[in-house]
Structures are given as C-alpha cells and as structure tokens.
Structure 1
Amino acid sequence: MKSLLSIEPRFAETDQMGVIHHATYPIWYEMGRIKYCDDLGMPFKNFIERGIHLAVTELSVNYKKSTRFGDDLKLYTYLIGFTKIRSYFKFELYNQNNELVNTGFATLAWLDQNMKPLNIQKTHPDIFEVFSKHVVNES
C-alpha cells in the first residue's frame, strides 16, 4: 500500500535562495508516516496512548531537483520492510509536473515506554498483523 500526502510548501520552509530548505524533507517524511498509519487504520496517536514509540534509527534523503514555495507536491510513503522490532519506509516526492524530485528512506525501531526495543509481534500482534500485510515488494 502506498499512502499519498499532498503538500503545499509554506514560505517559512524556504531558504535564502527561495528553495525548500533541505531540513524540511524529513519533517514531510514524518507527516507521510503518520498519514500512512492513519490510512492503515492504525492512527499514530494510538501507538503513543498504548505506550509504543517509533524511533528513527536511520534516515537518508536524496535531493534530485529543487522544490519551491508555490509548488504542488505529492508525497508517496510505503513500507518496504517490516520485522518484529523495525519498520522500513520509503518516500517518493513528485512535483506538479509528475517529476520525481526527492526520495528518502527511514528505519524506525519499535520501543516501549522505557525506550527499550519492543517485539511488536509478541506484545501487540494486532499491529504486527496489519503492518505485515502491507509491505511493498520493490522488485
């Protein structure tokens, strides 16, 4: 499953050159992950209420083309891997001309309230089952 998030960049997200600042993309990725969970029927806020945390352990951003204030952007987020303690997300950002302008990847670890690794399969099988069914095979 791919989740779609429409993004209208804010002027505050630009740098001195009028280009979207490089630090903005990981924030958009986070928005994409939250939307992805919502689309799965697993609202992100419910994880927090259940004492579950998702910590970013790896993040990469690939800038292919500049984006600017006024662009209409589409961020696709999908799960490319999932284990009992980690989730692997990929991000693709397209502009209004349907050009791929940015890609990213994030690894997140499932943690308990004490920030210790959480075996989501054992402790929350409902979450494990839903996420396991939605891994996208990239090949």
Structure 2
Amino acid sequence: MKTVETSFSVRYAETDQMGIVYHANYYVWFEVGRTEFFKSAGLPYWEIEKQGVFLPVIEGFCRYRRSARFGDTVIVKTKVQDMKPTRLKLTYEVFRQHDGTLLAEGYTEHAFVDKDGRPLNLKKSHPHIWEVLDKLQNFHPSS
C-alpha cells in the first residue's frame, strides 16, 4: 500500500490552555492527510467531486498515544486499508517529527455517494477513479 506523508506545525489555535492539542483536532489532521493523499494520486478532492463522487465519513476512530503540543511539527501518514465498490477505509498515523514518537493512530471509512447522497458503485460508475485508488491500495514499492 502506498503511504503518503504530510507534515505541518501545530498551531496555537489547535491547543488548550496547557499547549496540548485538543483531541478533536486529530480528525482535522486526518482530513489534511486524506486531502494530500488524493492530491498525490492525481485525484484532488475537487476533481473527484466535479465528477459527481462524494466521500462522506461514515465511521471514524482515533487512539491517542501521546500528546502533541504547540510548536511540534507532526507527520500524518495516510494509506488505503480497504476498498470495496461502495466504500473506502483509510488509516492514519500521526508522529512527532523530531523524535518519531507515535502520537495517534486511527481510521476513517467513507461511502461513495452522488451529489444527492445516493450510494455509488464506484467500480461501475467511475472505473477510472476506481483504478487509481486500487493501484494505491495494491502499491508495492520496488526493492
């Protein structure tokens, strides 16, 4: 599976009074990783949506391991865990850059739907998008 890494600095607005990142912001970071994942595949979100495919989150999970703090630089590693014609599951790992500490890990699961929220069979309705995502899921770097 192809893993896409996205790095950024923790902003003050993402923290509480003690300078620790508020838990809900990890889901925002998952979204940043997801957006960059699709962009790196040549399928930016806006292009997928322009083609009539939307990916609402239908399930999310985050396990918090260590605290991120204001000023840390974090790396979000994103990859496809599972893909079916009607849904996609992505996994995330969030690390502190300077020491490699795993801060959080989780996943989001998405349905493929049209602009009216009706489920799509992506493999049948948009085979070109399916093929790109399938290649990412089955990506094996050469040794």
TM-score using structure 2 length: 0.92
What residue is the counterpart of 1:14 in the other structure? 15
> Number of residues paired by the alignment?
137
SS in structure 1 of the partner of residue 52 of structure 2: coil
Q: Aligned letter for 2:102?
A: L
CA RMSD after TM alignment = 1.2
| CA-CA distance at 1:50 after TM superposition | 1.4
Q: Aligned letter for 2:13?
A: A
What residue is the counterpart of 2:59 in the other structure? 58
* Distance across 2 between alignment mates of 1:18 and 1:120: 42
What residue is the counterpart of 1:111 in the other structure? 113
What residue is the counterpart of 1:135 in the other structure? 137
Q: Aligned letter for 2:59?
A: E
Report Cα offsets for 1:38-63 as digits up to 9, x if no partner. Answer: 11111111012112110100100110
What residue is the counterpart of 1:37 in the other structure? 38
What residue is the counterpart of 1:98 in the other structure? 100
Q: Aligned letter for 2:39?
A: D
* Distance across 2 between alignment mates of 1:105 and 1:111: 19
* Distance across 2 between alignment mates of 1:70 and 1:16: 14
Report Cα offsets for 1:100-121 as digits up to 9, x if no partner. Answer: 1110111000000110111101
> Any gaps of 5 or more consecutive residues in structure 2?
none
TM-score using structure 1 length: 0.95
What residue is the counterpart of 2:83 in the other structure? 82
- For residues 11 and 81 of structure 1, do their structure 2 counterparts lie closer, same or farther at Cα, with a shift above 3 Å needed? same
| CA-CA distance at 1:17 after TM superposition | 2.1
- For residues 7 and 98 of structure 1, do their structure 2 counterparts lie closer, same or farther at Cα, with a shift above 3 Å needed? same
- For residues 55 and 10 of structure 1, do their structure 2 counterparts lie closer, same or farther at Cα, with a shift above 3 Å needed? same
